[in-house]
Amino acid sequence: MCGIVGYFGNRRADSILLQGLEKLEYRGYDSAGVSILDNDSLKIVKCKGRIKNLRDKLSKNPLNGTIGIGHTRWATHGEPSDLNAHPHTNEKATISVVHNGIIENYIHLKEWLCSHGYNFSTDTDTEVIPNLIDYYYNGSIIEAVIKATQKMEGSYAIGVISSYEPDKIVAVRKDSPLIIGAGKEEAFIASDVTAVLNYTRDVYYLDDKEFAIITKEGVEILSEEGETIEKELSHVTWNAEAAEKGGYKHFMLKEIHEQPKVIRDTMTSRIVLGEDINLDGITISNDEINNINKIYIVACGTAYHAGIVGKYVIEKLAKIPVEVDVASEFRYREPMINENTLMIVISQSGETADTLAALRLAKKNGARVIAITNVMGSTISREANDVFYTWAGPEIAVASTKAYVTQLIAIDTIALYLAKLKNSLSDAEIEEIKEEMLKLPEKAEKILESKEVIQKFAAENYMHKDMFFLGRGLDYAVAMEGSLKLKEISYIHSEAYPGGELKHGPIALIEDGTVVIVLATQEKVFDKMVSNIKEVVTRGGKILAFAPEGHTEIEKSVHSALYIPETLPILYPVISVIPLQLLSYYMATAKGCDVDKPRNLAKSVTVE
The string of DSSP codes covering 49-90 is: S-HHHHHHHHHHS----SEEEEEEE--SSS-SSTTTSSPEE-
Q: In the complex with ligand F6R, which residue's Cβ is closer, 350 or 441?
A: 350
Which CB sits closer to ligand F6R, 162 or 604? 604
Closer CB to ligand F6R, residue 134 or residue 488? 488
For ligand F6R, give the closer residue by CB, 9 or 177.
177
Residue 390 binds ligand F6R, judged by CB under 6 A: no
By C-beta, is 127 or 488 nearer to ligand F6R? 488
Distances in whole angstroms, Cα of residue 508 to Cα of each of 246, 421, 471, 512, 514: 45, 47, 18, 12, 11
At 11, phi and psi to the nearest 5?
-95, 170
Looking only at the bridges linking them, the beta strands covering 515-519 and 466-471 are parallel
| Active-site pick, 2, 46, 174, 254 | 2
Tell me the closest approach of the beta carbon of residue 301 to ligand F6R, in angstroms. 2
Q: Tell me which residue of 18, 15, 78, 76 sits closest to 50, measured CA to CA.
A: 18
Beta strands per DSSP E along 358-500: 368-373, 386-389, 466-471, 493-498
Query: Long-range contacts for 268-271 (Cβ within 8 Å, ≥24 apart)?
Result: 268/391, 270/413, 271/413, 271/434, 271/437, 271/438
Distances (CA, A) of 532 to 64, 197, 470, 503: 66, 50, 9, 9
Among 301, 393, 394, 482, interactor with ligand F6R by CB under 6 A: 301
Smallest distance from ligand F6R to CB 608, Å: 12
Q: Which of 190, 219, 300, 515 binds ligand F6R (CB under 6 A)?
A: 300
For 284-340, the three-class secondary structure string (H helix, E strand, C coil) is: CCHHHHHHCCEEEEEECHHHHHHHHHHHHHHHHHHCCCEEEEEHHHHCCCCCCCCCC
Distance of closest approach, residue 197 Cβ to ligand F6R, in angstroms: 19
> Count of CB atoms within 10 A of residue 274's CB?
7
- Closer to ligand F6R at the Cβ: 191 or 349? 349
Question: 1 near 28, Cβ under 8 Å?
Answer: yes
Contact flags string 333-372 toward ligand F6R, x per CB under 6 A: --------------xxx--x--x-----------------
Catalytic residue among 23, 174, 597, 603: 603
Residue with Cβ nearer ligand F6R (214 or 327): 327
**Element of type H or E holding 213:** strand 211-215
Minimum CB distance to ligand F6R, residue 549 (Å): 28
Pick the piece of the chain touching ligand F6R (CB under 6 A) from 297-305, 411-419, 528-536, 537-545.
297-305
Residue 95: CB minimum distance to ligand F6R, A: 32
Active-site residue 603, yes or no? yes
Judged by CB under 6 A, how many residues of this single chain contact ligand F6R? 15
Which span sits near ligand F6R by CB under 6 A: 45-53, 126-134, 298-306, 566-574? 298-306
* Contact set for ligand F6R, span 181-210 (CB under 6 A): none
Residue 605 makes contact with ligand F6R by CB under 6 A: yes
Among residues 124, 126, 302, 483, which is the contact residue for ligand F6R, using CB under 6 A? Answer: 302
Q: Quote the DSSP letter at residue 192.
A: S
**HSE-up of residue 302 (Cα within 13 Å, Cβ side):** 28
Q: Does 488 bind ligand F6R (CB under 6 A)?
A: yes
The distance in angstroms from the start CA to the end CA of the chain is: 10
Query: Which CB, 131 or 302, lies closer to ligand F6R?
Result: 302
- Residue 278: CB minimum distance to ligand F6R, A: 24
Closest separation in Å from C-beta 168 to ligand F6R: 32
List the x/- string, 457-486, binding to ligand F6R by CB under 6 A.
---------------------------x--
Report the residue closest to ligand F6R, judged by CB: 301
Q: Which stretch binds ligand F6R (CB under 6 A): 228-236, 274-282, 300-308, 472-480?
A: 300-308
Tell me whether residue 430 or residue 458 sits nearer to ligand F6R (CB atom). 458
- Rounded CA gap, 598 and 466, in Å? 18
Cβ at position 345, least distance to ligand F6R in Å: 8
H or E stretch covering 189: strand 187-190
Residue type, 562: L
Measure the CA–CA gap between 121 and 256, rounded to whole angstroms: 44
Q: Which residues are catalytic?
A: 2, 603
By CB under 6 A, name the binding residues for ligand F6R: 300-303, 347-349, 352, 355, 399-400, 484, 488, 604-605
